[in-house]
Chain A
Amino acid sequence: MSTLLGYVLPGIPYGCDFALMAVGLVITFRTTGVFNLAFGAQAFGAAFVFDLLVRSEGLPVWAAFVLSVLLLSPAVGLVLDRFLFSRIATTNMTAKIVSSVGLLIAIPQLLPILFGGSPRENPPSLWLDQAHVEFRLFGTAVNGSEVSTTVITLGAVAALLLFLRLSPAGLEMRAVVESRRLAQLQGIDSGKVAASAWALSSVMAGLAGVLLLPLSNVLNPTNPLQFTGLLVAGLTAAALARMRSIGVAFGAAIGLGVAQEVLELYFPNGALHTASVNAFPFIVLVGTLVGSKSLRSLGFRADPMAGVDPPPPPPSVSIRDPRLDVPMKWGFRALIVAFVVSGLTWVPGYWVTPLDAGLVYSTIFLSVTLITGASGQLSLCQASFAGVGAFAAGQLAAHFGLPVLLGAVVGGLMAAVLGAVLALLAARISGLILTLLTLAFALMADTFLFQYSWSGGSGTGVSVPRPVMGSIDFTSNRAFLVLALVVLLLCILLVALVQRGTTGRFLAAMRGSEPGAASLGINLLRARVTVFAMSAGIAGVGGAMFGSLYSPVSADSFVYEISLAFVVVVITTGSRRIEGAVQAGMSFAIIQFLFTYAPSRFQGLTPILFAFGALNYAQHPEGMVEYQKSRWMMRVSRLLARVDGRRGTAPTALAAGAAGNGMAGGVVGGSAPNGAPGLAGSPVGLSSGVVSPRG
C-alpha cells in the first residue's frame, strides 16, 4: 500500500504540470475561441525569459516573475491579438489553427535567435526549492517544487474558475467568442474584451512555464521538445473536459499524472513499459477525440452575424485572361525542359542537392495540397506518413533485398492503409477535432512508433539506398534529379486526375458544407477515406524519395514539428492548386540551402519566414503566392484590355469582367444607380467567372 502511495503522491504534482497545460488550453479556447497549440511554446518562452532575468541579470525571483509573467506575457498576448487573432473571423476555425501552428513553429525558432543557443542547467524555481525536502507523507518525501507547483496550480485554477463563472468580464469573454458582432450590439467593446482574453491566456502560459521550470534539468533553447509530453497530456485532459470545463480538465490532468506514475510502478522497464507508459496517454486521447459526442458538435455553432464578413477572394486562374492560357501552358513546359537540361549540365554540383530536395519536398507537399486544398481538412501528420514510406523502403531493402523503387511503392501503400485507418477512426469527426487527431497520430509516431529498430532504426537510423534500375543508375545527384522529377510528375498527374474527377467535385462539395454534401447523396466517409489514403500514399512515396536522397534517415527527420512546418509552408504559398505545392517545395529547399550560408544562429529563419506567411493566412487564405499571382493577373488583364481599347476592338466580356471585379471602382462605377451587382442587374457579377472558377 505504501509503495503504491509512493507512486501516487508524486503523481499529483506531476499531474499539476499537466493541469496547467490543460487548463491553459481550455481557458484560451473558451475566452478566445482559439485552440492555441502554441500555448506550450509561449510557456517555454516565458520560462526562458524568467531564467534569463534571474541568472544573467541577477534579479530577485519575485521581480523576475513580475517582469516575465505579469508584464511581458500579457504584452505578448496583446500583440498576438492586435496583429493576428483580431483579424480572424469568429467562424474561421482553419485560420485559427493555422495561425496557432505558425506560432508554434515561430516561437521556439525565435528563442535561439534572440538569446543564443547554449543550454542552461538547473533552472531556478519560483517559490520552494526542488532539492529541499519539505515533509514526508506516508513515508514519501515531498520536495519543495512539488509543494509549490501543487499549491500555485490549485490557486490559479480556483481563481480562473471563479472568474469565468461569476465575473462580468468572464461572461463578456464567453459572449465575444461566440460572436464579436452580436456582443457589440449589446454595447460590449469586443476588441477590448478579446485583447484582455489573450492577455489572460498569456499570463496563464507564463505561469505554467515558470512553474514547469524545475521539471526540466536543462533548459535548451534549441530543443523545446521537452514540452511535447506535456502537450500530449494537456491535449488529453482538455479533450476529456470537452474543451469546456476547467474543473474536469484539472481533475483529468491529475488523474493522468497519477496513472502514469502508477503504470511506472507496474511496468518498470522493458517492452511493456514503452508500450504502456508511452502509449497510455495516446490511447486515452484518441479514444476521447473519436468517442466524445460533445466534442463532435464543438464549433458547429455558426456566428449569427457571419453574413457581415466579405466573401473570400476568387482564385487567380479565374481572373486570368483566356488569351494567356496557351502561352502559360507552353511556358510551363519549356520551364520543365530547361530545368532538366540545366540540372543535368551546367548547374554546379553543390546546387543539385537542393534542387533534388525541392522536387522531393514538392512530392510530399502534394499530399498536403490534396488533403488541405481539396478537402479542406487540416492534417498535421503528413511527415509521419512520409516517415512510414521512408522506413518501409529502407527496411524492405535491407531485410528482403527489395528494390528501392518497389519498396517506395510498398511504403506508399502502407502509409495509405494507415491514412485510411485514420480516416475510418475519424469517420464522425471533422474540423478542429480531426486536426487534433492527426496531431495525436504524429506525436504517437514520434514517441514510440518510430522508436523501434524495426521501424525508425533507433539511433543509427535507416539507410535507404539510391535506386538502380538495370543499367540505369540513380546514385548520382544529377541522375536522381530526373527520377525525382518523374515521380513528382506522376504524383501531379494523380492529384490532377483526382481534382478534376468526381472525387474532386465531391471533396469541393465537402469543403463547402459537409451536411450539404451529404444531402446531395455524397458518401462522406468514402470520399474522406479516399482522400486520406491517397494523400498518405503520396506522402509515403515522397518520404521514400526523401530517405533515398538523405540516407540514412532517423525518426528525427519526421517529428511532428516537420509535419507542422510542411502544412505551414504549403498554406503560405497556396494549398488550393498543384503549382502551390511545387512552388512551396522548391522555395523551401532553396531558401533552406541559402540559409546554410548564414551564421548557425539564424538557421531557424527558414521556418520563421514561412510561419510568418502562415500568420497571413487570415487575410489571404488563398496563400501569399496565389495572392500575388491574382494581383499580377489583374494587372496583365487590365493592360490587355487597354491594348484592345487602343486597337479599337471590343474587349471580350471576360477580359472586361476580369479587369473590373478585383477593384471596387470597376463594379461600382460601372453600375447604374439601381443595378444590383451579384444579381441579374449587372453583367459583371455572375458572368465574369467570379463565382465559377475555371480549371
Chain B
Amino acid sequence: MNASYSTYRALFDVSFSVPAGTIVALLGANGAGKSTVARVATGLVAATSGKVLVGGRDVTRTAAHRIARMGVFHVPEGRGVFADLDVEENLRLALRRRVGARHLAEAMERAYTTFPVLAARRHQQAGTLSGGEQRILSLAGVLEAAPKLVIADELSLGLAPVIVDGVYEGLKAIHARGAALLVVEQQVDRALSLATHAVLLARGAVHWQGPPQQARAEMEELLAAGYAPPV
C-alpha cells in the first residue's frame, strides 16, 4: 500500500501480512509510518494506491465502520475512549453492535469481572480515568467482542512500566481467545517478547521483516546507518 497526508507522502509500497492467530510486531522510529499503516488498515486514512485485504476480501475502499464491523479493531494511539461518556456508556457503545443487544448485559458483566478496576469506576467519566485505566477500558471493549484482528497502536505510550504490564496482560488475553494481533510499538523489547513475526519500518517503507529474534540486530544496523533511534 501507499498513502499520503495531503501533499506529504507517508508510505511507500508497504506490504506485509498478519496470518490468523499470529502476533506481528510493527517497529520503527518516530515518523516511520507505523500509525499510518494502522490507520490505512482500518480505513481511517485512504490508501492512494495498493490494496488492504481482510480474510481475502478487498477492503481498500470500505468505510472505517464497516471494517470495524468485520472484526478488525483498532485501539488508537493515546486516548482511545470517549472522555465525555462514563465507563459503562463506553462499554455499551463498544459492545452493542458487536455482540448484539441481547447479549450486551452478559458481555458487560464479563468485562467487569475480567477487569475489576472498571467495575469500581462504572459511572465515572472516562476522561477522568488514568491513562492505564483508559487503555484497559479500550481493551475490555475489544476483548468481549470476539475480534479477528486487533491493531494496537502504541499501547505503552506515556504509561508507567507496571501499568504497561497490566495492559499487555489484556493483550495476551485477547490473543488467547483466537485473535491475530498487530502490535505497533516503540518499546521494542516488549513487542518482540510477544511477537511471532516482526516488521521493521523506516521512512515509510518496509526495511526488513522476519523472525523476532533477528529484529534486534537489524535495528542496530539501521541505527548505525544514521536513522533516528527508537526509544
When each residue 75-102 of chain B gets 1 if its CB lies under 8 Å from chain A and 0 otherwise, what string results? 0101110111100010011101110010
A-B CB proximity, top 9 nearest: A310-B6, A184-B64, A187-B68, A676-B203, A304-B79, A187-B97, A187-B69, A184-B65, A674-B203
Contact indicator A185/B68 (Cβ below 8 Å)? yes
B7 touches A174 (CB 8 A): no
B45 at the interface (CB under 8 A from A): yes
> From residue A27, how far is it (CB to closest CB) to chain B in Å?
15
For this complex, 22 residue pairs linking A to B, each with C-beta atoms less than 8 Å apart, are A168-B96, A174-B82, A175-B82, A178-B83, A182-B80, A183-B82, A183-B93, A184-B65, A185-B80, A186-B94, A187-B98, A189-B63, A301-B83, A307-B35, A308-B44, A311-B6, A664-B9, A676-B204, A678-B8, A678-B31, A679-B203, A681-B203
Interface of B, helix, strand, loop or mixed by DSSP: mixed
B31-67 interface (Cβ within 8 A of A): 31, 35, 39, 42-45, 63-65
A661 to B63, CA, bound (A): 29
Bitwise interface map of B from 189 to 207 toward A, beta carbon under 8 Å scored 1, else 0: 0000000000000111100
Query: Chain B's nearest CB lies how many Å from the CB of A383?
Result: 35
Does B4 sit at the interface, judged by CB under 8 A? yes
A168, B4: Cα distance in complex, Å? 35
Give the residue name and chain of the A residue nearest to B68 (CB).
A187
Interface of chain A residues 262 through 321 with chain B (CB within 8 A): 301, 304-305, 307-308, 310-311
Residues of A within 8 A of B13 (CB): 673
Q: Does A10 reach chain B (CB closer than 8 Å)?
A: no
Whether A185 lies near B84 (C-beta < 8 A) is no
Contacts of A455 in B (CB 8 A): none
**Residue A406 interfacial (CB < 8 Å):** no
CA distance A51 to B89 in the complex (A): 42
- Closest residue of chain B to A181 (Cβ to Cβ) is B44
A185 touches B5 (CB 8 A): no
Contacting pair B9 A186 (CB below 8 A):
no
A26 to chain B, nearest CB (A): 14
Q: Which residues of B contact A185 (CB under 8 A)?
A: 42, 44, 64, 68, 73-74, 76, 80
- Asked if B141 lies at the interface with its beta carbon under 8 angstroms from chain A, I say yes
Contact with A along B105-130 (1 / 0, CB 8 A): 00000000000000000000001000
Given A175-B85, A181-B44, A310-B5, list of 5 further CB < 8 A pairs?
A177-B84, A311-B6, A666-B7, A675-B203, A676-B31
A662: CB under 8 A from chain B?
A: yes
A681 to B10, CA, bound (A): 12
For window 1-37 of B, CB contacts with A under 8 Å fall at 4-9, 12-13, 31, 35
**How far is A178 from B90 in the complex, measured between Cα atoms in Å?**
12
Known: A171-B85, A175-B82, A308-B44. A301 touches B127 (CB 8 A): yes
Q: Closest residue to A192 on the B side, CB-wise?
A: B65
**With A308-B45, A673-B12, A674-B204: A187-B65 Cβ-Cβ less than 8 Å:** yes
Q: B39 contacts A671, CB within 8 Å?
A: no
The smallest beta-carbon distance between B114 and chain A, in angstroms, is 19
Checking A189, A666, A667, A675 against B65 with a beta-carbon cut-off of 8 angstroms, the contacting residue is A189
**Residues from chain B with Cβ under 8 Å of A676 in the complex:** 31, 203-204
Q: Would you give the shortest CB distance from A694 to chain B, in whole angstroms?
A: 19
Chain B residue nearest in CB terms to A673 = B12
Contacts of A311 in B (CB 8 A): 5-6, 8
**A304 to B78, Cβ gap below 8 A?**
yes
**Of B9, B89, B141, which is within 8 A of A677 by CB?**
B9
Minimum Cβ distance to chain A for residue B101 (Å): 8
Give B207's nearest chain A residue, CB to CB.
Answer: A674
Per a CB cutoff under 8 Å, which of A182, A188, A667 touches B8? A667
Q: How far is the CA of A508 from the CA of B198 in the complex (A)?
A: 44
Interface residues of A in 178-224 (CB under 8 A from B): 178-179, 181-190
Chain A residues, Cβ within 8 Å of B76: 182, 185, 304-305
Name the contact of A171 in the complex, choosing from B6, B8, B9, B93 (C-beta under 8 A): B93
